[in-house]
Amino acid sequence: MNGTARITKISGDEFEGMVIDSGRVAVVDFWATWCDPCKRLEELLHDIVPDYEDRVSFFKVDVNESGQLAARYSVRSIPMLLFFRGGQVVDQAVGFMSREALEKKIKSLAESA
């Protein structure tokens, strides 16, 4: 867990249990430490997470540490957000996005929780 916003950093080993098999809807942020847009998106996520964490789980996956997982989901550009429901990807977003666009996607996902 990370500070006040609950975004859990996970690796490929933890992914199945925490995202696919969890039964919760989830947002997974594929990122890297050297990626400036990733840092900006992370700040935005930290602002938004408290409003949704009761219905949505938030995770981050470092593509440099979990390359096989990134390849499994065809992550070619970062930041990339994958939105999961029932263990399946139901939406995605590539690159930095506005707060309004991000909240719209998360709100839609949360409503199904």
Tokens matching residue 38 = 């990733």
Give the residue numbers annotated as catalytic, written as ranges. Answer: 35, 38
In which element (H, E) is residue 85 found?
Answer: strand 80-85
